[in-house]
Protein backbone atom coordinates (compact mmCIF):
# COMPACT_ATOMS: atom_id res chain seq x y z
CA UNK A 1 0.00 0.00 0.00
CA UNK A 2 1.46 3.33 -1.02
CA UNK A 3 4.71 1.82 -2.23
CA UNK A 4 4.00 2.73 -5.82
CA UNK A 5 2.06 5.53 -7.42
CA UNK A 6 -0.94 3.75 -8.94
CA UNK A 7 -1.78 3.88 -12.62
CA UNK A 8 -4.95 5.82 -11.86
CA UNK A 9 -2.95 8.51 -10.13
CA UNK A 10 -0.50 8.74 -13.02
CA UNK A 11 -3.45 9.08 -15.40
CA UNK A 12 -4.94 11.79 -13.18
CA UNK A 13 -1.59 13.57 -13.11
CA UNK A 14 -1.27 13.69 -16.89
CA UNK A 15 -4.98 14.45 -17.34
CA UNK A 16 -4.63 17.38 -14.95
CA UNK A 17 -1.53 18.57 -16.74
CA UNK A 18 -3.36 18.36 -20.07
CA UNK A 19 -6.27 20.39 -18.69
CA UNK A 20 -3.84 22.98 -17.33
CA UNK A 21 -2.18 23.35 -20.73
CA UNK A 22 -5.53 23.44 -22.54
CA UNK A 23 -6.89 26.01 -20.08
CA UNK A 24 -3.73 28.07 -20.39
CA UNK A 25 -3.93 28.09 -24.18
CA UNK A 26 -7.63 28.95 -24.12
CA UNK A 27 -7.00 31.77 -21.66
CA UNK A 28 -4.02 33.10 -23.59
CA UNK A 29 -5.92 32.93 -26.89
CA UNK A 30 -8.22 35.72 -25.72
CA UNK A 31 -5.25 38.09 -25.65
CA UNK A 32 -4.14 36.98 -29.10
CA UNK A 33 -7.57 37.43 -30.70
CA UNK A 34 -8.04 40.70 -28.84
CA UNK A 35 -4.76 42.00 -30.24
CA UNK A 36 -5.66 40.78 -33.73
CA UNK A 37 -9.03 42.52 -33.61
CA UNK A 38 -7.65 45.71 -32.13
CA UNK A 39 -9.56 48.71 -33.41
CA UNK A 40 -12.10 46.54 -35.19
CA UNK A 41 -15.40 46.98 -33.45
CA UNK A 42 -17.57 44.99 -35.82
CA UNK A 43 -19.31 42.14 -34.03
CA UNK A 44 -18.02 43.69 -30.82
CA UNK A 45 -20.65 42.11 -28.64
CA UNK A 46 -20.29 38.55 -29.89
CA UNK A 47 -16.49 38.85 -29.84
CA UNK A 48 -16.59 40.08 -26.28
CA UNK A 49 -18.83 37.20 -25.29
CA UNK A 50 -16.46 34.74 -26.93
CA UNK A 51 -13.50 36.33 -25.12
CA UNK A 52 -15.20 36.18 -21.75
CA UNK A 53 -16.28 32.60 -22.39
CA UNK A 54 -12.76 31.52 -23.29
CA UNK A 55 -11.13 33.49 -20.48
CA UNK A 56 -13.47 32.13 -17.82
CA UNK A 57 -13.51 28.66 -19.37
CA UNK A 58 -9.75 28.67 -19.67
CA UNK A 59 -9.31 29.70 -16.06
CA UNK A 60 -11.80 27.04 -14.94
CA UNK A 61 -9.93 24.37 -16.93
CA UNK A 62 -6.62 25.56 -15.49
CA UNK A 63 -8.03 25.45 -11.97
CA UNK A 64 -9.56 21.98 -12.38
CA UNK A 65 -6.32 20.82 -14.00
CA UNK A 66 -4.26 21.98 -11.03
CA UNK A 67 -6.55 20.10 -8.62
CA UNK A 68 -6.60 16.88 -10.67
CA UNK A 69 -2.85 16.99 -11.15
CA UNK A 70 -2.39 17.50 -7.41
CA UNK A 71 -4.59 14.49 -6.68
CA UNK A 72 -2.60 12.46 -9.18
CA UNK A 73 0.70 13.52 -7.67
CA UNK A 74 -0.12 13.21 -3.98
CA UNK A 75 -3.28 11.10 -3.78
CA UNK A 76 -6.70 12.15 -2.49
CA UNK A 77 -5.66 12.35 1.14
CA UNK A 78 -2.16 13.64 0.40
CA UNK A 79 -3.52 16.60 -1.54
CA UNK A 80 -6.01 17.44 1.22
CA UNK A 81 -9.18 16.36 -0.63
CA UNK A 82 -9.82 13.67 1.98
CA UNK A 83 -8.91 14.45 5.59
CA UNK A 84 -7.12 11.29 6.65
CA UNK A 85 -3.63 11.81 8.07
CA UNK A 86 -2.74 8.09 8.01
CA UNK A 87 -3.77 7.71 4.38
CA UNK A 88 -2.01 10.94 3.51
CA UNK A 89 1.21 9.56 4.95
CA UNK A 90 0.81 6.42 2.85
CA UNK A 91 0.07 8.34 -0.31
CA UNK A 92 2.99 10.68 0.22
CA UNK A 93 5.29 7.76 1.02
CA UNK A 94 6.81 7.47 -2.46
CA UNK A 95 7.93 11.07 -2.08
CA UNK A 96 9.24 10.81 1.47
CA UNK A 97 10.98 7.57 0.51
CA UNK A 98 12.62 9.37 -2.35
CA UNK A 99 13.87 12.11 -0.02
CA UNK A 100 14.92 9.55 2.60
CA UNK A 101 16.76 7.54 -0.01
CA UNK A 102 18.75 10.56 -1.08
CA UNK A 103 19.77 11.27 2.51
CA UNK A 104 20.73 7.62 2.97
CA UNK A 105 22.82 7.65 -0.20
CA UNK A 106 24.60 10.79 0.93
CA UNK A 107 25.35 9.25 4.32
CA UNK A 108 26.68 6.05 2.77
CA UNK A 109 28.89 8.06 0.48
CA UNK A 110 30.26 10.02 3.42
CA UNK A 111 30.90 6.80 5.34
CA UNK A 112 32.69 5.23 2.39
CA UNK A 113 35.07 8.16 2.02
CA UNK A 114 35.74 8.22 5.78
CA UNK A 115 36.21 4.45 5.97
CA UNK A 116 39.19 4.25 3.65
CA UNK A 117 41.35 6.70 5.63
CA UNK A 118 40.36 5.59 9.13
CA UNK A 119 41.19 1.90 9.21
CA UNK A 120 41.26 0.95 12.84
CA UNK A 121 44.44 -0.72 14.12
CA UNK A 122 44.16 -2.58 17.42
CA UNK A 123 47.14 -2.14 19.71
CA UNK A 124 48.08 -4.16 22.76
CA UNK A 125 50.38 -3.31 25.65
CA UNK A 126 53.36 -5.46 26.51
CA UNK A 127 52.72 -7.00 29.97
CA UNK A 128 56.27 -6.34 31.20
CA UNK A 129 57.44 -3.01 29.72
CA UNK A 130 54.03 -1.48 28.82
CA UNK A 131 55.22 -0.69 25.29
CA UNK A 132 52.27 -0.54 22.88
CA UNK A 133 52.60 -3.10 20.09
CA UNK A 134 50.40 -3.94 17.13
CA UNK A 135 47.92 -6.68 17.92
CA UNK A 136 49.32 -9.24 15.47
CA UNK A 137 52.97 -8.96 16.60
CA UNK A 138 54.28 -12.06 18.39
CA UNK A 139 57.05 -10.37 20.39
CA UNK A 140 57.34 -6.98 22.00
CA UNK A 141 59.21 -4.46 19.85
CA UNK A 142 60.86 -2.97 22.96
CA UNK A 143 61.88 -5.84 25.21
CA UNK A 144 61.39 -8.87 22.98
CA UNK A 145 59.07 -10.61 25.40
CA UNK A 146 56.48 -12.97 23.87
CA UNK A 147 53.03 -11.40 23.82
ZN1 LIG B 1 57.99 -5.29 26.30
Cα 124 to ligand 1 centre (Å): 11
pLDDT digits (tens, 9 = 90+) for 17-40: 999 999 999 888 888 887 887 777
Cα 128 to ligand 1 centre (Å): 5
Residue 74's Cα: distance from chain center in Å?
A: 11
Each domain of the chain, given as residue ranges in start order, spans: 7-83
pTM over 0.75: no
Q: For residues 90 and 1, is the Cβ–Cβ distance under 8 A?
A: yes
Instruction: Report the distance separating Cα 83 and Cα 77, nearest Å.
Output: 6
pLDDT digits (tens, 9 = 90+) for 58-117: 899 999 999 888 888 887 777 766 677 777 777 777 766 666 666 667 666 666 655 555
Instruction: Report the distance separating Cα 145 and Cα 143, nearest Å.
Output: 6
Q: Is a pLDDT exceeding 90 seen at residue 1?
A: no
Q: Which residues surround ligand 1, an ion (CB under 5 A)?
A: 126, 129, 131, 140, 142-143, 145
pLDDT digits (tens, 9 = 90+) for 55-64: 899 899 999 9
Residue 30's Cα: distance from chain center in Å?
A: 35
Amino acid sequence: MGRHISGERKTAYYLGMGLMILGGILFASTFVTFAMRFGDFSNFESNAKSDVFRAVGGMALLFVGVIIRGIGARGLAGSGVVLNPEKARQELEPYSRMAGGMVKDALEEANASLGTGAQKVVMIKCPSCRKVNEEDSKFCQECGREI
